[in-house]
């Protein structure tokens, strides 16, 4: 049997994890920066791995490439 290991969190939980508003999380989803799954007419869940990718893609304190 295949094990499914997709961790999903609510919009509010994703907003708390990222320290932003739920409106900002919705904007990130619309922009394709976060992966979300619609489980019903009003139920939206965000994939935890996309939150991890989002956070690790934005390090602070490192010089940007090409910056002089």
Query: Is residue 27 assigned to a domain?
Result: yes
3-class DSSP assignment, residue 50: helix
Question: Given this model, what pLDDT does residue 27 score?
Answer: 97
In a domain, 65, yes or no: no
Report the candidate in 46, 39, 40 with the shortest Cα–Cα distance to residue 7: 46
The total number of structural domains in the chain stands at 1
Q: Per the domain annotation, does 44 fall within a domain? A: yes
Tell me how far the alpha carbon of residue 62 is from its chain's centroid.
22
Tell me the per-residue pLDDT of 11-68, one tens digit each, with 9 for 90 and over.
999 999 999 999 999 999 999 999 999 999 999 999 999 999 999 887 777 666 765 5
Buried b (16+ CB within 10 A) or exposed e, 11-36: bebbbebbeeeeeebbebbeeeebbb
On whether residue 22 sits in a domain, the answer given is: yes
pLDDT score for 67? 57
Range of the structural domain that residue 44 is part of:
8-56
Q: What pTM was computed for the model?
A: 0.76
């Amino acid at each position: 049997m295949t094990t499914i290991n997709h961790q999903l969190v609510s919009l509010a939980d994703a907003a708390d994890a990222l320290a932003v508003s739920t409106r900002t999380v919705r904007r990130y989803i619309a922009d394709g920066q976060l992966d979300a799954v619609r489980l019903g007419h009003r139920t939206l869940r965000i994939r935890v791995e996309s939150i991890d990718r989002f956070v690790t893609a934005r390090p602070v304190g490192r010089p940007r490439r090409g910056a002089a």
